[in-house]
Amino acid sequence: MAEGFALTESTYYILLSLVRARHGYGIMQQTEELSNGRVRLAAGTLYGALSGLCEKGWIVQLPIEADSRRKEYKLTEKGMQVLCREVDRLKELAENGEKILKEG
């Protein structure tokens, strides 16, 4: 991720959800819960995003167990760095907003 680029809200919540390994439906549930229902991912949207995040090296698909059809994903070290930079960026946005509004 180049400096100065912001994550979309859905990408942010997908990465946040994958701090712990999860399958697709679990990611959808966690994203909706964390965003208080604001971000709802359709299956096609989610799996397209997961594919792109795998290509970037931000997440990895875990080996599928023999008796399961569920694909689980987890954040990589690179993905964790991207997520941490985004959290810092969002904190700065909030702090600047609060500061200006107090001065206002």
Tokens of 70: 């569920």
Identify the pLDDT of residue 2: 44
Tell me the CATH number at 69.
Answer: 1.10.10.10
**pTM, to two decimals:** 0.89
Is 34 inside any structural domain? yes
DSSP line for 42-80: -HHHHHHHHHHHHHHTSEEEPPPPTT----EEEE-HHHH
Q: How many domains does the chain have?
A: 1
The predicted-structure confidence for 9-62, as pLDDT tens digits, reads as follows 999 999 999 999 999 999 999 999 999 999 999 999 999 999 999 999 999 999
User: 27 is in which domain, residue-wise?
Assistant: 9-103
Is 28 inside any structural domain? yes
Is 1 inside any structural domain? no
Is 62 inside any structural domain? yes
